[in-house]
Amino acid sequence: MGRLVIVSNRVPDPRERDQPAGGLAVALADALRDEESSLWFGWSGQQVDFEGDPEVAVDSHHKVTYATIPLTPAQHRGYYQRFSNGILWPLCHYRLGLMNYTKSDWESYQDVNTMFARALLPLLEPGDTIWIQDYHLFPLAQMLRDLGVTAPIGFFLHIPFPPWSLFRALPPADALLRDMVAYDLIGVQTDEDAENLKECLRIEGLDEGVSRVMACPIGIDPVKFGEEARAAWDGEEVARLRDSMHAEPLIIGVDRLDYSKGLEERFLGYERLLTRYPEHRGHVTYLQVAPVSRGEVEEYRLLRRQLDETIGRINGAFAEFDWTPIRYLTRPVPRTVLAGFYRLADVALVTPLRDGMNLVAKEYIAAQDPENPGALVLSHLAGAAPELTEALLVNPHDADAIADALHQALTMDKAARKRRWKLLDAEVRSTTAGTWSRDFLTALHDAGKAKTA
């Protein structure tokens, strides 16, 4: 078997014990553990002024070679902050009103994709299979093809793909869709995303691309995560959190600080719980871990300010001198500790307004004690919802629905929790990071064979 070459904007630093918050890095690190040899190429996370071609830094760790390039501050702004996160991100999360298009950002996006292609080319070897990840790099396959690369190239989109009625609002929608036909296989998270992308391809007259679209939901490594949760249980941080709870119930939320995660609506749902079910006042605590993400992008800065205000208002209105309703952290927590927090929590509150998949929901299930599992309240608009149907599914825009689901979760008897958790756990174990990458790569291999037959 040849090498697997992964290309993504965000590449974890192999020397760092903690991976960056974000589903892509977490799932790929889990998936790559099965590979014999692989190359992971992408942005180093550094901004450096340079002219001409960037310097490629190479580092090997276990069986993975990491090759990374920096971005100039101007590229970081145009390609990453603005086109990827100020245009494609809101568009793909159905938030047209937040999309701020400029032609120069589109040009920067294309230039950086060309730079990625040129820097990757000399690193490629015969027999490689290339797997490009996420919306930062839609046009990369076409650029590699233009440079003569004939290797199988697959793509996976970690975020939702919107319907044509929204996607057509992007001025270069047609160019992006045309470029996508250069892939031998395009993976998306859900059937809904697949139908949306196929519709766009069909309308653009790119019928050859339609049969290359595949729904292939991503997962975690539930066995490893469960072990981490058990190990964390005896650790200092979990002991401190447990002691601070005085045997009262804990609700947990864990998300990058992103407007797609529905944090404001979620806090309002929790406030509604305290108003409509006052028996929980003075008892329940909601711990929200929300590390700052993309803090240079205006919408993210505004969101942070808004959340500070909302949380301050709710805590001010409901707190007692010996009880705080919301505990809020905007820094990352090591995953090993996080796993123990999930295990301790009676309820996980996962209510994105839209989400490609949402690995936090799967991590929470994997971390539970089978003899006394907690309950999951999940947005029906998360990519994980079609799989995790035994969760308490809610509309994330409906504060009353969130309050009712929280009340149901907090008062559910152990037998009902166990019954739901068992079915959810079976689901999380059937679609893992391993099955995700194996299913996708097998289909990519078959697509390659069909092409040469």
Rounded Cα distance between 358 and 190, Å, is 12
Interstrand relation of 57-61 and 64-71 (parallel, antiparallel or unpaired): antiparallel
Q: Which of 363, 387, 390, 404 binds ligand ADP (CB under 6 A)?
A: 363
Site residues for ligand F6P, 127-146, by CB under 6 A, read 134
30 binds ligand F6P (CB under 6 A): no
Beta bridge partners of 215: 188
Q: Which stretch binds ligand F6P (CB under 6 A): 16-24, 165-173, 266-274, 441-449?
A: 16-24
Q: Please state, as a whole number, how many other Cβ atoms lie within 10 Å of the Cβ of residue 77.
A: 18
Taking the complex as a whole, the smallest distance from the CB of residue 415 to ligand ADP amounts, in Å, to 29
What's the min distance (Å) between Cβ of 27 and ligand F6P?
A: 8
Our CB check for ligand F6P shows the closer of 38 and 293 to be 293
Residue 154 interacts with ligand ADP (CB under 6 A)? no
For residue 256, state whether it binds ligand ADP (rule: CB under 6 A): yes
Judged by CB under 6 A, does residue 10 bind ligand F6P? yes
The distance from CA 14 to its chain's CA centroid, rounded to whole angstroms, is: 19
357 binds ligand ADP, rule: CB under 6 A: yes
Choose the one of ligand F6P, ligand ADP, none that binds residue 289, judging by a C-beta under 5 to 8 angstroms depending on kind.
ligand ADP
Instruction: Please identify which residue in 76, 261, 272, 294 interacts with ligand F6P, judged by CB under 6 A.
Output: 294
Q: Which residue is nearest to ligand ADP (CB)?
A: 23
Residues designated as active site: 158, 355
Please tell me whether residue 381 binds ligand ADP under the rule CB under 6 A.
Answer: no
The binder of 134, among ligand ADP, ligand F6P, none, by C-beta within 5 to 8 A per type, is ligand F6P
| Strand-by-strand arrangement of the 57-61 sheet | 57-61, 64-71, 38-47, 4-10, 129-133, 153-156, 185-188, 213-215
CA distance 256 to 98: 18
Residue selected from 263, 314, 338, 375 as contacting ligand ADP according to rule CB under 6 A: 338
Residue 158 as a binder of ligand F6P (CB under 6 A): the answer is yes
Binding-residue total with ligand F6P (CB under 6 A): 10
Q: Which residues of 30-62 are buried (b: 16+ CB within 10 A; e: fewer)?
A: bbbeeeeebbbbbbbeeeeeeeeebeeeeeeee
Residue 255 found at the interface with ligand F6P (CB under 6 A):
no
- Is 26 one of the binding residues for ligand ADP (CB under 6 A)? yes
Q: Give the separation between CA 158 and CA 356, rounded to whole angstroms.
A: 6
CA 367 to the chain's CA centroid: 18
422-428 contacts: CB < 8 A, separation 24 or more?
422/370, 423/390, 424/365, 424/376, 424/388, 424/390, 424/391, 425/222, 425/365, 425/366, 425/368, 425/370, 425/373, 427/365, 427/387, 427/388, 427/390, 428/219, 428/220, 428/222, 428/362, 428/365, 428/366, 428/388
Instruction: Compose the 390-429 pattern: x for residues touching ligand ADP by CB under 6 A, - for all others.
Output: ----------------------------------------
Say if CB 360 and CB 348 are below 8 A apart.
Answer: yes
The residue from 42, 90, 332, 396 that contacts ligand ADP (CB under 6 A) is 332
Written as six digits, the tokens of 259 are 């407007």
Given 4, 11, 69, 159, the residue binding ligand F6P (CB under 6 A): 159
Residue in the structure block whose two tokens are 């298009």:
101
Among 7, 12, 22, 138, binds ligand F6P (CB under 6 A): 22
Counting contacts by CB under 6 A, is residue 383 touching ligand F6P?
A: no
Interface residue list for ligand ADP (CB under 6 A): 21-23, 26, 254-256, 289, 291, 332-333, 335, 338, 357-360, 363
Interface residue list for ligand F6P (CB under 6 A): 10, 22-25, 134, 158-159, 293-294
